[in-house]
Chain A
Amino acid sequence: MKMLNTLSGFIKERFPLENMNMKSMLMKKVVPVHKLSWAYYLGGLTLLFFIIQVLTGLFLLFYYQPTVNEAYDSVKFITEKVPGGAVIRNMHTWSSSAMILCAIIHFLTTFAMKAFEKPREITWWSGVVLIFITFTFGFSGYLLPWHQLSVNATKVGLQFIGAVGQYLPGVLSELPNKLIEIIQGGPSIGQETLSRFFAIHIVILPLAILAILGVHLLSVQLHGMSKGVSRNVEKTEPFFPNFLIKDFSLWAIVFLILFILSITIPFESFFPYPLTEPYNPLGSTPDGIKPEWYFFFLYYPMELLPFWVIIVAMGVLVVGLFLVPRIFQGTKRKTLRFLSWLAFAYFVIMTVFGEAIFEMIKGVK
C-alpha cells in the first residue's frame, strides 16, 4: 500500500493536474534565453522530420509493394516513373537521416543541460524510449527496398543477436538463434521477414512512437523548458508566440533545404551501384556491406572488439540511460557538458573514420 502511495505521489508530482490547461501550458510558458538556447529548437526539429517521415511515408505506401518479388521494382517504379516520386522518396531517406541526427544531438544537449532533473524524469525516460524507437525505424525501413545492400546489412545486423548465444550456457545458447528465426519468420531472410519488417515499420512503430511522443510532449509543456545552465537566467521570452514563431521559421527554412536537397541529390548516390541491385538470394554477398551511417558507432566497435565487451557495454548503457536521473542527480552541469562532448566526439569519430580505423586495424586494402 505504501508503495502504491509513493507511486501515485510520484506521478502526481510529474503530471500536476492543476497545470493541465491551455493557460499554463501554452500562454504562461517562457523559454530561457542564454548561450545554449539553440538547443531548445532541436526537439522541435526532430518532430518536424518525424512529421515529414509520416507524410512522405504515406505517399510511398500508395505505390510500394511489400513482397520479395515486387518490392525492388515498386521502389524503382516510384523513383523513375511516378511524377514527383523521386523527390518524395529522397525526402523520406534524407529526412530519416536528419531525424536521427537531430534526435542524437537533442539527446546529448538535454543531457548536457541536465534537463532530466526532477520533475522531468518522465520526459527523459520517454525520450530514451523514443530514440530507441527511432533507431528501430531506421533499421526496419532499411530492409524495405530489398536491394543487395539492404537485405545483406539486415542479415548481418540480425546475426549479431545470434552471436550472443556463444556466451549462454547449455540449452540457452540456442535461444538467440531461435529469436532471430522468430524475427525473420523463418530460417533465412525472405518474404516473411519483409512482411514483418513492413508491418513493424509502418504500423507498430508509428503507433508506439505516437503514444510515447504524447507523453513526452505533454510533460515538456507541463514543466516548461529546463533552465539549462547553472547560473540564474534573467532573460526569458514567451513561448507563445515569440518562441513558436521562431520555431516555425526554422521549420520553414529546414524544409526548404530538405526539399532542394531531395530534388538535386538522390540519397543513394552515396552507394556504389552493385549494392543497390536487386537482392540475389543465391550468389556471394557483395563487398562493402555496412549498415546506415547512424549505426557505425555501434557497428565498427562490434567488428573490432571481442563480442562480450559489446554485450556488457550495451547492457550497461541501456540500463544506465534509464538511471540517468538517479546517477547524475548531483553532478554539475559542467561535468555533464564534458561527458556530452565526449560522447559526441566518439560518435563523430566512429561515423566519419570508423571504416578507416577498421581497415587500419584489420590491415585490409
Chain B
Amino acid sequence: MSDFFLLISLPYVAMFSLITVTIYRFKSKKFSLSSLSSQFLEKDKLFWGSVPWHMGIGIIFLGHVVAFTMPKLLQALVSKTNILYILEGIGLIAAMFALGGLVVLFLRRLRNARIQAVTSNMDLIILSLLTLQILLGILVATLYRWGAAWAPSTVTPYLWSILSFRPDVSYVASMPLIIKAHIVIAWVIILFMPFSRLIHIFALPLEYITRLPQIVVWNSRRLKEEVIIAQLEAQSRRHFLKSAFGITTGLILLSIGIADKVIPFFRGPSLSAKEKEEMLKNKLEKMKATIKQKELENERLVNEYIYIADLKDLKTDEGLYFTDYSMKPALAFKDERGLPLLYSAKCTHLGCTVTNKVKNGKLLCPCHISHFDVKTGDVLDGPAPKALPTVKFILMDQSQQIVINPDKSKLNEYKVYIIKEGNT
C-alpha cells in the first residue's frame, strides 16, 4: 500500500504540481523565475559553492538522463568492465563535487544574515532534500555497486511505466530501502521544485523564445510610434502563436493519450494459454452452478416434495441453507427434541438473508440488525415487522415412507423433505 502511494500516486501528484505550478508561475510572473541570485551579497563563497555544485550535478544529471532514455546503449557500454569502472568513477567524483558545493552553499545560507533575509523556508527544505538525495545517491553507488549496470533494466522501466500512464511498481518493489528512498525523494524534490527557486532551471530558454523583439529606437517621434505599434502587433502575434501552439500541443497530447488507451482496449487482451485455461475453468464451474440452479427450479416445479438433508446432519446452532419452493433462501435447524426446524431465511423487513449462526438462541439479520428467536422465528428486536415464516416439511424413513409419528430412537435414520404449498 505504501509502495502504491509512494511509487505511483506521489509521482503523479509531483508531475501534476510540476506542470501546473510552473505554468502558473510563468503566466502570473508573481515570482521571479531566477534563482534570486544573491551574488552581490557574498561573492567568494558563492563561487566555491555554485561552480562545483553546478558542474557536479550537471554530470550526474546527464548520467541519469542517459540511463533513462538510452538504457540499451548504456547496458551495451557497461558490459565492458573498464568502461563501467570509468563511468562509475566519474559519477562518484561528480557526486562528491556536487555535495561539497552544496554544503558550501548551504552553510552560506545559514550563516550569513543578509542572505538569510532572502532565504525562504522552502529554499532550506529543498537544499536539505538535495543534500539528502546526493548522500543517498552516493550510498546507493557504494553499497549496491554498479548501478549503471542494473538500473537500466529496473529503474528505467519503472520510470517509463509511470510516464506512459501504465504504472507498474513490480520493477522496483523488491529493491533495498535505500534505493527506494532515493527514488521517492526524487519525486518529492520534483513535487517541491516549482515552489522553490529551483524553478530557475526552466527560466532561461523559455524566456528567450517568447520575449519581445528588441528594437533600436531612433530619436524620432514618428519612428517611435511605429515601433510601439510594431511591438504591440508583435505582442499580439506572439500571443496568438503561443496559445495556438499550446492548444495544438494539448490536443495532440490528448489524442495520443486517448489513442494509447483506446486502441489496445479495442484490440483486446492477448491471453496466455494458462490464463485462457483458468478462465475457461471458471466459466465451466459457473455453468455447472447454473445447471444445478435450473435443476432446483425444475425440481420445485414438478416434485411434490424435495429432499433437504438427513436429519442427523442438521445442527441446533448452525443452520443449513437451502432453497425453498419459491426459490428463496431458507434455513434448516434441529430443535432440542431432535426434530427439524425450518424457516424462511428472507428477513421480513427488507428481504436480506439472515445469518445461519445461532448466537444466544438468536438469529441475526445483518442489514438493519433484527434478531429472531431461533425456537419460534419470532422477532426479538429490530425493525423486522413479522416472525420468520416456517417452512412445511415431512420426514421419511429409509423405506421412503412418510413418518407420521416419529420414533425417538430412529431419528437418525429419517430424511427431511419440504413439501409444496397446499399439500399437507
In the assembly, what is the distance between CA of A62 and CA of B264, in Å?
13
Given contacts A88-B261, A287-B366, contact A187 B328 (CB under 8 A): yes
Q: Are A263 and B165 in contact (CB under 8 A)?
A: yes
In the assembly, what is the distance between CA of A188 and CA of B296, in Å?
15
A194 to chain B, nearest CB (A): 13
Q: What 0/1 pattern do residues 314 to 342 of B give for CB contact below 8 A with A?
A: 00000001110011110000000000000
Q: Are B275 and A81 in contact (CB under 8 A)?
A: yes
Q: Are B327 and A84 in contact (CB under 8 A)?
A: no
In the assembly, what is the distance between CA of A152 and CA of B269, in Å?
31
Q: What 0/1 pattern do residues 231 to 263 of A give for CB contact below 8 A with B?
A: 000000000000000000000100010011001
Contact among A163, A265, A283, A286 for B350, CB-based, below 8 A: A163
B342 to chain A, nearest CB (A): 15
Given contacts A69-B290, A252-B250, contact A286 B366 (CB under 8 A): yes
Does A281 have its Cβ within 8 Å of any Cβ on chain B?
yes
List of B residues within 8 angstroms of A159 by Cβ: 349-351
Does B368 have its Cβ within 8 Å of any Cβ on chain A?
yes
Q: What 0/1 pattern do residues 248 to 287 of B give for CB contact below 8 A with A?
A: 0010001001001110111111010001000100110011
Q: Chain B CB within 10 Å — which of A162, A263, A265 has the most?
A: A263
A248 to chain B, nearest CB (A): 10
Nearest A-chain residue to B251, judged by Cβ: A252
List of A residues within 8 angstroms of B351 by Cβ: 155-156, 159, 162
List of B residues within 8 angstroms of A303 by Cβ: 368, 383
Q: What 0/1 pattern do residues 280 to 303 of A give for CB contact below 8 A with B?
A: 011111111100000000000001
A143 to chain B, nearest CB (A): 15
- Compute the total of residue contacts between A and B using a CB distance below 8 Å: 110
Interface residues on A, range: 35 or more
Given contacts A263-B165, A284-B366, contact A160 B350 (CB under 8 A): yes
Stretch from B96-104, B151-159, B352-360, B399-407 that touches the partner: B352-360
Q: Are A156 and B262 in contact (CB under 8 A)?
A: no
List of A residues within 8 angstroms of B260 by Cβ: 84
B329 to chain A, nearest CB (A): 5
Contact among B8, B264, B329, B383 for A282, CB-based, below 8 A: B329
Q: Are B265 and A187 in contact (CB under 8 A)?
A: no
B269 to chain A, nearest CB (A): 4
B111 to chain A, nearest CB (A): 42
Does A73 have its Cβ within 8 Å of any Cβ on chain B?
yes
List of A residues within 8 angstroms of B349 by Cβ: 159
Q: Are A84 and B283 in contact (CB under 8 A)?
A: no
Chain A 134-173 residues near chain B, CB threshold 8 A: 152, 155-156, 159-160, 162-163, 166
Nearest A-chain residue to B5, judged by Cβ: A264
Q: Are A264 and B9 in contact (CB under 8 A)?
A: yes
Given contacts A73-B282, A83-B265, contact A284 B275 (CB under 8 A): no
List of A residues within 8 angstroms of B321 by Cβ: 282-283
B387 to chain A, nearest CB (A): 16
List of B residues within 8 angstroms of A81 by Cβ: 269, 271, 275
Does B167 have its Cβ within 8 Å of any Cβ on chain A?
yes
> What is the interface size of chain B, counting residues whose CB is below 8 A from a CB of the partner?
50
Q: Are A59 and B265 in contact (CB under 8 A)?
A: yes
B50 to chain A, nearest CB (A): 36
Q: Are B367 and A260 in contact (CB under 8 A)?
A: no
Q: Are A263 and B350 in contact (CB under 8 A)?
A: no
Does A32 have its Cβ within 8 Å of any Cβ on chain B?
no
A162 to chain B, nearest CB (A): 8
Contact among A84, A155, A364 for B264, CB-based, below 8 A: A84
Does A35 have its Cβ within 8 Å of any Cβ on chain B?
no
B250 to chain A, nearest CB (A): 7
Q: Are A84 and B367 in contact (CB under 8 A)?
A: no
Does B345 have its Cβ within 8 Å of any Cβ on chain A?
yes
Contact among B167, B327, B366, B385 for A263, CB-based, below 8 A: B167
Given contacts A69-B290, A285-B367, contact A84 B262 (CB under 8 A): yes
In the assembly, what is the distance between CA of A235 and CA of B383, in Å?
57
Given contacts A73-B282, A187-B326, contact A155 B261 (CB under 8 A): no
Q: Are B365 and A285 in contact (CB under 8 A)?
A: yes
List of A residues within 8 angstroms of B322 by Cβ: 282
Q: Chain B CB within 10 Å — which of A83, A284, A364 has the most?
A: A284
Q: Are A188 and B327 in contact (CB under 8 A)?
A: yes
Does B51 have its Cβ within 8 Å of any Cβ on chain A?
no
A261 to chain B, nearest CB (A): 9
Given contacts A73-B286, A81-B271, A362-B369, contact A284 B262 (CB under 8 A): no
Give 17 CB contacts A-B under 8 Å.
A73-B282, A73-B283, A77-B269, A81-B275, A83-B261, A83-B267, A155-B350, A156-B350, A188-B327, A256-B16, A260-B16, A264-B9, A264-B12, A281-B293, A285-B352, A286-B366, A288-B366
The 3 closest A-B pairs by CB, nearest first: A83-B264, A159-B350, A285-B352
Given contacts A188-B328, A264-B12, 20 further A-B contacts (CB under 8 A): A62-B266, A69-B287, A69-B290, A81-B271, A83-B261, A83-B264, A87-B165, A155-B352, A159-B349, A159-B350, A163-B350, A252-B254, A264-B8, A282-B323, A282-B353, A283-B353, A284-B356, A285-B354, A303-B383, A362-B369
